[in-house]
Amino acid sequence: MADLGRLLGTLLGSLAHARRIADEETAAIAEYYKNNPLLEGMSLPRVRVPELILDLPMIIEGHEEGEPNVMQEDAVIRKAVSEELRMVLERDRIHFTQAMVQRFEQEVKVELDTLKAGGEFERGYPRELAARAVDKALSRAMAEAGPQRSITQAQLRALSSALRLKASNVALKREGVPAKITASIISSEIKEKATANNVVRLKVSMKEEGLEWTIGQNEDGTVSQKLTPE
């Protein structure tokens, strides 16, 4: 038996690999056409699969309950983030008043309490939630400082990045386990165990979409590459 999610992932991954193999063959044909005077002016054959429909019989064996994420204690997260703040301020020689530091620490507590009370850490993306919480706390602390603050945009980006990374790294005490369904699509197992009541059919429609690399320049002058739709 296998996890149904892995079975579906394998099916989708197989289609992606099929596209890769087809593109490799197209590249080989392109080289052949280029070196053949009778073919060099012709368009290249490239096969695509806009949609693939699979209709598979399968047996559902069982369902396993998942486990929620276990969030780190608030005090541990706040301490780690506060220590990171003070370390970056000292390292980069950024001037924060004691009132700004205290306001940041208070806002971190407020944000974490809100997330925990709403049960957000037990589901979703706890590491990213913790990172965004400290980002909001930093923004509020900076807003309260107003024109008195003394920090460049580059320093602010570095500070925000360091705090987000620290919060993300310490947010979880134990990562949760998602629920899963165990199933089989192996023909021999289906023939052996199948009855009129336990066999279901899985109908999957897979559509192919291509991606390509694009290069762009960020506000700070760095260059980034992103995958975007063709």
| pLDDT tens per residue, range 43-68 | 888 888 888 888 888 888 888 888 87
Q: What are the tens digits of pLDDT across the range 84-126?
A: 999 998 888 888 878 888 889 999 999 888 887 777 666 667 8
Helix (H) or strand (E) holding 182: strand 180-184
Residues 6 or more apart whose CB falls under 8 angstroms from that of 138 comprise 104, 107, 159, 160, 163
| Cβ atoms of 171 and 134 closer than 8 Å | no
In this structure, what are the phi and psi dihedrals at residue 153, rounded to the nearest 5 degrees? -65, -40
Per-residue pLDDT for 80 more than 90? yes
Q: What integer pLDDT is reported at residue 167 of this predicted model?
A: 93
Per-residue pLDDT for 83 more than 90? yes
Per-residue pLDDT for 138 more than 80? yes
In this prediction, residue 81 has a pLDDT band, given cuts at 50, 70 and 90, of very high
Q: Is 178 exposed, middle or buried (0-12, 13-18, 19+ CB in 10 A)?
A: exposed
Q: What integer pLDDT is reported at residue 46 of this predicted model?
A: 83
